[in-house]
């Protein structure tokens, strides 16, 4: 048995106490003396082509491996971004070159299963949206991560934009008076490359509505109840990977959220929206998100994942003022790089797994409300205000 002197004992207990005060993130950061996190990417399709340029420039990231069930895609990305190891299956990736963080960029329906396997094998996870297929599955992932002292986060990264911060601050400072209502919309004509967007578990809600839901709950607080109508406007589509397919998931949604204290918001999203400004919405001057209060209203110009300005109206006689916050380093594809940095520095990011989980619960409730015509009560919450 080791005998401690009184001084050693005091030192030892002080260190143990300090370790207990450290968050999992700070604790992990202490184990990373070389200040780079080993990253593995799974899913080497369209979005990986936007993530990898950002990740490869991050001073906190070492890209270790790329995996795709279409192996040639993993090989192509590996060549483009100098990634030393490539795999055709997650089992090989998990037992291959060691890494700390899995970035999941596959079909949405695969996220829950792959994220679980990564956590079970001791890896942190950044997942494209949604984190899982159901709230229950997502909550189990978060519990699993906590039980293993690991972290999981899910896209989107909208709360990181300076425009989000501006809007959040304006609300908290009372510039709009008492908040009453909000509206948000996002849509385009739908992806043409992969069938999963239109298969069960896909749809415009988890692909597009997810951004507006994250922004509105981020600004107005967790939703308490949800009501929605969903429909399929285009019942057949032709996509690159499967040819002609039957559309099974909603491609048109109207969603209402009750945030409590009388505040009600509305999100509309769909894969049948003609937009003269295109998928990116570049150059549009009208708000995609509007928040109303008793003393003012505020409109976000540009989509919330790529915003550029905020119009603030607080006067009956003066026109609204366009605010153009410094865009800083924000881009929508920064999520994984930002949490890689957090894992190295131990500094908690604004993006929270609990918020992503809440958004997932809203999506699931919207589907349930659309199917049953009922108002659905939610159970999840997250730390709010976000900024
Ligand atoms: N494409 C975009 O602009 C974009 C933007 C933001 C978010 N997203 C999100 O990113 C995710 C991927 O979308 P995408 O457009 O890149 O789709 P995609 O079809 O282009 O790519 C998905 C890739 O995952 C691979 N894959 C599927 N199951 C796999 C598995 N079990 N193991 C390994 N690889 C697997 C597929 O072979 C494919 O190459 C989705 O969640 C989507 O909502 C996409």
21-48 residue pLDDT tens = 567 788 878 887 778 999 999 999 999 9
User: Do 188 and 236 belong to one domain?
Assistant: yes
User: Do 139 and 204 belong to one domain?
Assistant: no
Domain count, the chain: 2
Which residue owns the Cα nearest ligand 1 atom 3? 47
User: Do 139 and 247 belong to one domain?
Assistant: no
DSSP letter for 205, please: I
Picking from 98, 131, 154, the residue at the C-terminal end of a domain is 154
Q: Say yes or no to pLDDT of 268 above 90.
A: yes
Picking from 154, 183, 206, the residue at the C-terminal end of a domain is 154
For a pocket test of ligand 1, which of 42, 47, 188, 210 has the largest count of ligand atoms closer than 8 A to its C-beta? 47
Picking from 109, 138, 154, the residue at the C-terminal end of a domain is 154
Q: What is the pLDDT of residues 185-222, one digit of tens each?
A: 999 999 999 999 999 999 999 999 999 999 999 999 99
Express as a percent the part of the chain with pLDDT over 90.
88
Q: What token pair was written down for 305?
A: 């994942």
pLDDT value for 22: 67
pLDDT value for 2: 44
CATH number assigned to the domain comprising residue 74? 3.40.50.720
Q: Say yes or no to pLDDT of 231 above 50.
A: yes
pLDDT value for 174: 98
Mean of all residue pLDDT scores within the chain: 94
Q: How far is CA 297 from the centre of its chain?
A: 26
Instruction: Answer whether residue 384 is part of any domain.
Output: no
Measure the CA–CA gap between 360 and 214, rounded to whole angstroms: 9
Ramachandran region of residue 14, left (φ > 0), alpha (ψ -120 to 50) or beta?
alpha
User: Do 191 and 216 belong to one domain?
Assistant: yes
User: Do 147 and 164 belong to one domain?
Assistant: no
pLDDT tier at 13, thresholds 50, 70, 90:
very low
The lowest-confidence range among 7-16, 56-65, 299-308 is 7-16
Average pLDDT over residues 139-145: 98
Which residue is associated with the tokens 């928040």? Answer: 291
pLDDT value for 16: 46
User: Do 140 and 172 belong to one domain?
Assistant: no
Contact assessment for residue 99 and residue 122, using Cβ atoms and an 8 Å cutoff: no
Query: How far apart are the CA of 194 and the centre of ligand 1, in A?
Result: 8
User: Do 252 and 120 belong to one domain?
Assistant: no
Instruction: Answer whether residue 12 is part of any domain.
Output: no
pLDDT value for 316: 96
Instruction: Answer whether residue 234 is part of any domain.
Output: yes
Instruction: Answer whether residue 310 is part of any domain.
Output: yes
Q: What is the pLDDT of residues 249-263, one digit of tens each?
A: 999 999 999 999 999
Q: What token pair was written down for 181?
A: 């209502």
User: Do 316 and 359 belong to one domain?
Assistant: yes
* Residue 172 structural domain: 158-332+349-377
Q: Say yes or no to pLDDT of 14 above 70.
A: no
Q: What is the pLDDT of residues 286-301, one digit of tens each?
A: 999 999 999 999 999 9
Query: How far apart are the CA of 72 and the centre of ligand 1, in A?
Result: 15
pLDDT value for 278: 82
Q: Say yes or no to pLDDT of 149 above 60.
A: yes
pLDDT value for 1: 40
DSSP letter for 130, please: P
Instruction: Answer whether residue 86 is part of any domain.
Output: yes
Q: Say yes or no to pLDDT of 80 above 60.
A: yes
For a pocket test of ligand 1, which of 42, 46, 109, 208 has the largest count of ligand atoms closer than 8 A to its C-beta? 46
User: Do 170 and 243 belong to one domain?
Assistant: yes
User: Do 188 and 125 belong to one domain?
Assistant: no
Query: How far apart are the CA of 193 and the centre of ligand 1, in A?
Result: 10
User: Do 205 and 293 belong to one domain?
Assistant: yes
Measure the CA–CA gap between 102 and 85, rounded to whole angstroms: 14
Specify which residues 287 forms β-bridges with.
Answer: 301
Q: What is the pLDDT of residues 326-346, one digit of tens each?
A: 999 999 999 999 999 999 999
User: Do 65 and 40 belong to one domain?
Assistant: yes
Which residue owns the Cα nearest ligand 1 atom 4? 47
Average pLDDT over residues 149-164: 98
Query: How far apart are the CA of 196 and the centre of ligand 1, in A?
Result: 9
Which residue is associated with the tokens 């999941």? Answer: 104
Query: How far apart are the CA of 43 and the centre of ligand 1, in A?
Result: 5
């Amino acid at each position: 048995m080791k005998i401690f002197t009184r001084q050693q004992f005091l030192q030892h207990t002080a260190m143990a106490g300090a370790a207990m005060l450290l968050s999992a993130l700070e604790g992990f950061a202490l184990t990373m003396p070389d200040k780079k996190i080993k990253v593995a990417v799974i899913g080497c399709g369209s979005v990986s082509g936007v993530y990898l340029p950002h990740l490869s420039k991050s001073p906190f990231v070492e890209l270790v491996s790329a995996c795709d069930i279409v192996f040639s895609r993993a090989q192509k990305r590996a060549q483009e971004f100098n990634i030393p190891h490539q795999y055709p299956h997650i089992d090989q990736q998990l037992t291959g070159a060691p890494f700390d963080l899995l970035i999941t960029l596959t079909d949405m329906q695969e996220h829950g299963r792959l994220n679980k396997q990564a956590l079970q094998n001791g890896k942190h996870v950044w997942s494209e949206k949604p984190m899982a297929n159901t709230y229950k599955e997502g909550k189990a992932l978060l519990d699993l991560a906590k039980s293993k002292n690991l972290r999981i986060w899910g896209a989107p990264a909208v709360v990181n934009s300076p425009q989000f911060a501006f809007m959040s601050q304006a609300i908290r400072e009372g510039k709009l008076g008492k908040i009453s209502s909000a509206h948000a919309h996002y849509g385009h004509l739908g992806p043409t490359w992969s069938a999963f967007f239109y298969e069960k578990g896909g749809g415009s809600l988890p692909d597009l509505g997810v951004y507006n839901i994250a922004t509105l709950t981020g600004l107005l607080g967790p939703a308490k109840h949800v009501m929605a109508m969903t429909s399929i406007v285009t019942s057949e589509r032709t996509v690159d990977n499967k040819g002609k397919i039957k559309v099974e998931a909603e491609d048109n949604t109207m969603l209402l959220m009750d945030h409590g204290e009388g505040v009600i918001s509305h999100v509309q999203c769909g894969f049948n929206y003609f937009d003269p400004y295109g998928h990116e919405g570049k150059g549009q001057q009208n708000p995609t998100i509007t928040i109303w209060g008793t003393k003012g209203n505020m409109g976000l110009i540009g989509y919330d994942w790529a915003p550029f300005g905020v119009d603030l109206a607080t006067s009956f006689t003066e026109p609204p003022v366009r605010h153009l916050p410094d865009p800083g380093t924000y881009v929508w594809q920064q999520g994984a790089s930002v949490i890689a940095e957090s894992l190295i520095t131990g500094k908690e990011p604004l993006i929270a797994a609990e918020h992503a989980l809440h958004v997932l619960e809203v999506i699931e409730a919207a589907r349930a409300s659309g199917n049953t015509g009922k108002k659905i009560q939610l159970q999840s919450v997250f730390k709010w205000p976000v900024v």
